[in-house]
Structure 1
Amino acid sequence: MFEGLMILIVCGGDDPGGAQLRRFGAEAGLLIAADRGARYCLAAGLAPDVVVGDMDSLAPVELDELAGRGARLVRHRPDKDQTDSQLAVDLALEQSPASICLLGAAGDRLDHSLANIHLLLRAARRGVAARLITGAGDELFLVGGEFELTSCAGRTVSILPFAGRASGVTLEGFRYPLNEAVMEPWEPYGVSNVIESARAVIRVRAGWLLIMLLRPDLA
């Protein structure tokens, strides 16, 4: 969906599983693990290039294995202001990538999941496209401006304003189109739309939209 150098970040939420890790790992130019995410990488047979965080979720034997496989360990104090995922995103942004993909960024801890979704905006404000893939295969990303979805006909998508009002919202190629609409955070009418065209366009003149593209088998 996004062209150019992609950096994969594996966070410490739900284990994304070996198949998902290997699939996106094969597309990545750099693999960064946020603390426990390194364990998921090792279990999938992948060696992260960098492991960042306070390392409180990794055993000494795991840290030794990571170092032995060439991973750079960037250790931070436990009493820090940033989450391990934010540290990983900031490290990725220093590399000036075209895009960032986050796996293992959602899970039972709703507070961490919401915090990780907000990291999409941290990247977007730096001009870097970022997406979050859940363990179920749903894809979340932000649109500020215009974005085109191709080869997604029949898929369910929810579109919500993010971090405030979104105005001038136009949806073309959807079951429920919009034309220069205003979307407020407290009116989530953009849930459960359906893409009906081989080429669907999302446009917003002011603000941000959170796009949640559900996996293909969900209608």
Structure 2
Amino acid sequence: MTTKRVIIFTGGSLEETDIKEIQPGDTVIGADYGAWFLVQHGITPDLSAGDFDSVTEDQLRKIQQNSKQFVSCDPINKNLSDTELALEYAIKMKPQEIIIYGAIGTRMDHTLANIQIMSKVLRREISCSIRNQHNRISLIDSVYIVQCNDFPYVSLIPLSNEVTGITLEGFMYPLHDAVLSIGESLGISNRLLHETGTITIKEGLLLVIESRDE
């Protein structure tokens, strides 16, 4: 099975406006509470997956009734988080892009884990981002084009111990063949000068976070 774009809704902070990002032709996956969020808003998930320990029995029954495919796993004897489980299914669909909503929330452990598992997608050369109303988080290992949008700030944070050969074109604060190491804040709060900006790196894993305050 192949699809152009997969959108995952998982159990962190979700907004009604996130639903508006679904486009015709998208494959939609609900992970645990994210599946209930979709059903609650009249969206039929192509797949609902998880241990569903965050929903009531009545909500679970409605998820089962309103999902095209349903996969449940034991909440104790499992090795993957609900988000990672949904991501594994999304990867098997071989899409061009995976977008995750609800991956950021009050649980920092889940948020950090969700950011790190994007490396699984990157290894398969699939575009992946985590999004909410204030952030768009991408993980890169080569070239990334930033488009002028509603997120005025662009921050670069190394996910590997060191990221080398960082070159920025079209930004207020340019870099040329620079190095960022974990624990440094040099890459925080840059801005575009033009409609697009190019980020190029030679080695390492780099988080690109486009953000806004309001």
- Structure-1 residue corresponding to 2:177: 180
What one-letter code is carried by the residue in structure 2 that aligns with 1:119?
I
- Cα distance in structure 2, aligned partners of 1:147 and 1:26: 23
CA gap of 1:193–1:28, structure 2 versus 1, over 3 A, is farther
Task: Check if 1:161 corresponds to 2:178.
Answer: no
Deviations 1:27-79 (A, max 9, x none): 56211111011121122221211111112122222222223224311111112
Aligned to 2:146: 149
Q: How far is the alpha carbon of 1:188 from its aligned partner? A: 2.0
Contact map agreement 1:35 1:53 (CA 8 A) in 2: yes
Corresponding residue number in structure 1 for 2:196: 199
Q: Partners of 2:141 and 2:83 in 1: how far apart? A: 23
Q: Tell me, yes or no, if structure 1 residue 95 matches structure 2 residue 93.
A: yes
Cα distance in 1 between the residues matched to 2:188 and 2:197: 16
Instruction: Quote the Cα distance in structure 1 between the aligned partners of 2:25 and 2:124.
Output: 20
The CA deviation at 1:151 is 2.9
Over the residues paired in the alignment, what is the CA RMSD in angstroms?
1.8
Instruction: Name stretches of at least 5 consecutive residues in structure 2 with no aligned partner.
Output: none
Contact 1:6 1:97 in 2 (8 A): yes
Q: How does 1:1-219 map to 2 (within 5 A)?
A: 5-14=4-13, 16-21=14-19, 23-26=20-23, 29-79=26-76, 80-134=78-132, 136-152=133-149, 155-215=152-212
d(CA) in 2 for partners of 1:82 and 1:67?
21
Q: Distance in 2 between matches of 1:33 and 1:195?
A: 34
- Partners of 1:150 and 1:158 in 2: CA distance: 14
Q: Which moved more, 1:55-64 or 1:162-171?
A: 55-64
Aligned residues: 211
Q: Which runs of 5 or more structure 1 residues have no equivalent in the other structure?
A: none
Q: 1:154 to 1:25 in 2, by over 3 A?
A: closer
Change (3 A) 1:174 1:154: farther
What is the CA distance between 1:162 and its match in structure 2? 1.3
Are the counterparts in 1 of residues 29 and 45 from structure 2 also a CA contact under 8 Å? yes
Q: Deviations over 1:184-205 (max 9, x none)?
A: 0111210111111222110001
Change (3 A) 1:106 1:78: same
Deviations 1:129-178 (A, max 9, x none): 100002x3310001211111233498111111112210000001111100
Structure 1's consecutive aligned runs of 4 or more residues displaced over 4 angstroms after TM superposition are none
Q: What TM-score do the two structures reach when normalised by structure 2?
A: 0.92
Give the partner amino acid of 2:5.
M
Asked if 2 retains the 8 angstrom alpha-carbon contact of 1:169 and 1:203, the reply is yes
Q: CA 1:206 to 1:140, structure 2 compared with 1: closer, same or farther past 3 Å? A: same
| Partners of 2:124 and 2:150 in 1: CA distance | 30
The 2-side partners of 1:153 and 1:181 are apart by 27
Over residues 116-136 of structure 1, what are the superposed CA-to-partner deviations in whole Å (9 max), with x where a residue is unaligned?
A: 1112111111111100002x3
Aligned partner of residue 159 in structure 2, secondary structure: strand
